[in-house]
Amino acid sequence: MKDDRVYLLHILERVRRIEEDTAGGKAAFLASHTLQDAVLRNLQTMAESTQRLSESIKERYPQIEWRHIAAFRIVLVHDYLGIDLERV
């Protein structure tokens, strides 16, 4: 098992990339399959990293909806045809 810091840094990097990729706004995101793919992939890997965090760190931040993030990952990986890009 890796140190939580490794996963936290990875999560922060995914967030940075998503912010960078969506800086052009919703219309640019919806118009570009490349941007959609990049954002969805980063959301997927970010959600995967949250599942690898220790229970102790998750308990320290109960305001974060860890189960919802895990459920969202399942949608991204297994129900990708049901993803609503307007909501993303």
Q: Which residues are catalytic?
A: 73, 78
88 contacts 33 by C-beta, under 8 angstroms: no
